[in-house]
């Protein structure tokens, strides 16, 4: 018997999702080897070791049955059906709604395979999605979401039980991998003698709110000219962000180093971490920063309050003026005191224990 981990795509933009799945799968029994399917893309730059891989090489249009590809969906489903029958998998771990839409219709005819679907973020549900998740019995299908906020929303919309599996990291392993400040700065090509650094980590896409952060940072520089901003990540909005940096005259103050496989080791290079997201399923960056002892300034989103409660420093989504004032206020107080409060609120040891227990139950 083996576990089949089915991911929507490989590559750097999906590295954090692969990281969550690997944390879940670390709780599988040693007697249950794990294999991975990537429906799109390749294993390179996934950011984690995903084990034995099958790359299907499909496109989003093929998987969603758009245009001409609608005619090929029966052929694609037949391929998946044969591959599932040929595998010795008894448990499937599915990455979100797109993978579920692709494989759940096939699994009606394979009752010996149990399925766990992991939801990583808010998604636009289709009219038929409720029926999709009600077609398999609860003994065969379990749904889990990476935050209580997301689980509650999905439970309301789908009218089926959704387990909260709030993603977490094993604290000791995470701490042991962190680089000291000077090494982290060197990895980013920064000097330790410069001004304070505001860090941000995430895919360069509009949902992450980095344009708002740039504009707010530019405003903050009028009162704190020594500040620096580093945004680690890659994505489709890079050209837009670079153009905005040039327009604001921030080439000397803002660094876009791209995707870094070891980004989770570099938090000590930052004095504060900003998370200006417009929406999030959980926000692993928040957990990583707080566990690294770096205080977080984030958007006013329920999922962030779920984790940091009153210890969080919040600013309204896409409110440039509020973010500018929040940045200035952050660099006028003791970062160490704020970080300590946020660490206590996050309670990483308890979070990891709860995550581990729930993951084991889902995989058992």
Delimit the domains of the chain by residue range: 2-165, 171-347
Residue-level pLDDT at 169: 87
Q: 171-347 falls under which CATH superfamily?
A: Glycogen Phosphorylase B; (3.40.50.2000)
CA pair distance 218, 326, nearest whole angstrom: 13
Kindly give the confidence (pLDDT) of every residue in the chain, 364 residues in length, as a single tens digit, with 9 standing for 90 and above. 789 999 999 877 788 888 899 999 999 888 788 999 999 988 765 656 666 889 999 998 998 888 888 898 889 999 999 999 998 899 999 999 999 999 999 998 899 999 999 999 878 888 889 999 998 999 999 999 999 999 999 999 999 999 999 988 899 999 999 999 999 999 999 988 889 999 999 999 999 999 999 999 999 999 999 999 999 999 899 999 999 999 999 999 999 999 898 999 999 999 999 999 999 988 889 999 999 999 999 999 999 999 999 999 999 999 999 999 999 999 999 999 999 999 999 999 999 999 999 999 999 8
Nearest alpha-carbon partner for 269 in 292, 249, 285: 292
134-175, pLDDT tens digit by residue?
A: 989 999 999 999 999 999 999 999 999 999 999 888 999 999
What is the layout of strands, in order, in the sheet containing 228-232?
254-258, 228-232, 197-201, 272-275, 296-299, 313-315
CA atoms within 13 A on the CB side of 127: 0
What CATH architecture applies to the domain 2-165? 3-Layer(aba) Sandwich (3.40)
Judging by beta carbons within 10 Å of its beta carbon (0-12, 13-18, 19+), is residue 325 exposed, middle or buried? middle
The answer to whether 286 and 275 are in contact (CB under 8 A) is yes
98 vs 342: CA distance, rounded Å? 34
Write down the pLDDT at residue 348.
95
Q: Which residues of 329-344 are buried (b: 16+ CB within 10 A; e: fewer)?
A: ebbeeebeebbebbbe
According to the model, what pLDDT value does residue 340 have?
98
């Amino acid at each position: 018997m083996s576990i089949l981990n089915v991911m929507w795509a490989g590559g750097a933009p999906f590295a954090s999702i692969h990281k969550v799945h690997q944390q879940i799968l670390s709780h599988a029994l040693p007697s249950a080897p794990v294999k991975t399917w990537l429906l799109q893309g390749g294993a390179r730059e996934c950011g984690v070791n995903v084990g034995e891989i099958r790359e299907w090489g499909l496109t989003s249009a093929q998987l969603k049955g758009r245009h001409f590809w609608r005619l090929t969906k029966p052929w694609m489903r037949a391929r998946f059906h044969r591959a599932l029958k040929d595998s010795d998998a008894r448990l499937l771990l599915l990455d979100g709604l797109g993978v579920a839409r692709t494989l759940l219709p096939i699994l009606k005819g394979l009752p010996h395979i149990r399925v766990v679907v992991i939801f990583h973020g808010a998604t636009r549900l289709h009219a038929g999605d409720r029926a999709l998740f009600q077609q398999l019995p609860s003994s065969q299908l379990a749904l889990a979401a990476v935050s209580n906020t997301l689980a509650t929303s999905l439970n309301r919309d789908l009218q089926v039980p959704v387990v909260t599996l709030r993603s977490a990291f094993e604290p000791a392993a995470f701490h042991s991998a962190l680089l000291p400040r000077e090494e982290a700065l060197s990895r980013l090509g920064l000097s330790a003698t410069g001004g304070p650094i505001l860090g941000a980590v995430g895919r360069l896409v509009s949902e992450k709110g980095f344009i708002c952060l740039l504009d707010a940072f530019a405003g903050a520089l009028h009162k704190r000219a020594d500040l620096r901003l580093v945004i680690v990540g890659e994505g489709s909005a890079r050209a837009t962000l670079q153009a905005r940096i040039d327009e604001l005259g921030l080439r000397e103050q803002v660094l876009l180093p791209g995707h870094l496989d070891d980004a989770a080791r570099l938090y000590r290079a930052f004095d504060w971490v900003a998370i200006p997201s417009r929406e999030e399923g959980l926000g692993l960056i928040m957990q990583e920063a707080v566990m690294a002892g770096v205080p977080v300034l984030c958007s006013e989103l329920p999922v962030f309050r779920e984790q940091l409660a009153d210890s969080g420093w919040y600013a309204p989504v896409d409110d440039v003026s509020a973010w500018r004032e929040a940045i200035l206020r952050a660099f006028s107080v003791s970062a160490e005191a704020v970080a300590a409060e946020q660490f206590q609120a996050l309670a990483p040891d308890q979070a990891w224990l709860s995550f581990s227990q729930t993951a084991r139950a889902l995989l058992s």
